[in-house]
Amino acid sequence: MTVATLSEVLLPAKENNYAVAGLVVLGWEDVRSYVEVAEELQVPVIIQAGPGCRQHTPIPILGKMFRYLAEKSTSPVVCHIDHGYSEEECQMGIDNGFTSVMFDGSKLSLQENIDKTASIVELGHKAGVSVEGEIGFVGYSEGKKSLSTDPEEAKKFAHETKCDAMAISVGNTHLQLNKNTNIDINDILNIQALCDIPLVLHGSSGIDYDLRRKIAQQTNVCKFNIGTELRKTFGDSLRTSINKSPDIYDRNQLLNMTIDDIKKSTRTVLENISKF
Ligand SMILES: [Zn+2]
């Protein structure tokens, strides 16, 4: 079985200048496609259950589904909780087979974020689970604006929380439909000069493939979170299938028609950051 923790896939990626995709899961069709493509390409993948996913499907069910896929995969698969906002939520992930949790304290004060993240790191490490934290604030397209990561604060955060990976804000924004995010690689280098831990970029759907590759090769960013790009593929594909087949009413038949498209988009994502 190749169930992996976040550290197990990110440390070699950081060392060898590639990155691993953190792919946002909403259901069975997308998650099985992600794992199948990772296996085809023989690269690691992080499957992640974010707040939207957890609102739709309870964590115990997601845990079973993620572990089922991870355990039979021949490529390393990390089962990750994305944007946990409380200790209870992170603990529930740990109790249900997730091998990695993200605690998002980015809306708290620096000290509160450090204290809460540190206590979740302790919980996680006791259970053999990796923990990702966030410093600075990655905003949302049409929503709250970002707050850039301050390198000195990042250093303090990494040092005091002992988290395994650190999400940073350097121009990246969640929910981007267009790939026009501008990131200055020097902003990332300034952060990593002060703290040598795997870095994460949320909102990577907005970063074009060339820039993702460049960042993966030249910096310690070794996890790109990608949701919108793949959710868009699924939605567009489902709509086309429904319009093309007005006589089909069976939900599984309709959903299965999206799989080829999801796999194709997943292949593009994985090939551009994890294989050079
Ligand atoms: Zn995020």
Q: Which pLDDT band, with edges at 50, 70 and 90, does 275 fall under?
A: confident
**What per-residue confidence (pLDDT) applies to 142?**
86
Instruction: Please work out, in degrees rounded to the nearest 5, the angle formed at the alpha carbon of residue 98 by the alpha carbons of 161 and 121.
Output: 10
Residues 6+ apart with CB under 8 A from 227: 23, 24, 50, 174, 175, 205
Beta bridge pairs of residue 201: 224
pLDDT in tens, 4-30: 999 999 999 999 999 999 999 999 999
Q: Where are the domains of the chain?
A: 3-274
pLDDT in tens, 142-175: 899 999 999 999 999 999 999 999 999 999 999 9
Q: Position of tokens 């002992």?
A: 162
CA 100 – CA 90 distance, rounded (Å):
9
> Which entry of 82, 104, 164, 261 is annotated as an active-site residue?
82
| Alpha carbon of 3 to ligand 1 centroid (Å) | 22
Q: Which pLDDT band, with edges at 50, 70 and 90, does 1 fall under?
A: low
> Active site includes 115?
no
pLDDT in tens, 167-220: 999 999 999 999 999 999 999 999 999 999 999 999 999 999 999 999 999 999
Residues 6+ apart with CB under 8 A from 177: 141, 205, 228, 232
DSSP of 116-153, one letter per residue?
HHHHHHHHHHHTT-EEEEEESB--BTTSSPPBPPPHHH
| Alpha carbon of 185 to ligand 1 centroid (Å) | 20
Q: Which pLDDT band, with edges at 50, 70 and 90, does 276 fall under?
A: low
pLDDT in tens, 56-104: 999 999 999 999 999 999 999 999 999 999 999 999 999 999 999 999 9
CATH topology of domain 3-274: TIM Barrel (3.20.20)
Look up residue 56 and give its two tokens: 């739709």
Please give the DSSP secondary-structure letter assigned to residue 184: -
| Alpha carbon of 253 to ligand 1 centroid (Å) | 31
pLDDT in tens, 217-274: 999 999 999 999 999 999 999 999 999 999 999 999 999 999 999 999 999 999 999 9
What sign does the dihedral 4-164-204-274 (CA atoms) show? Answer: negative
Please give the DSSP secondary-structure letter assigned to residue 67: H
| Alpha carbon of 246 to ligand 1 centroid (Å) | 36
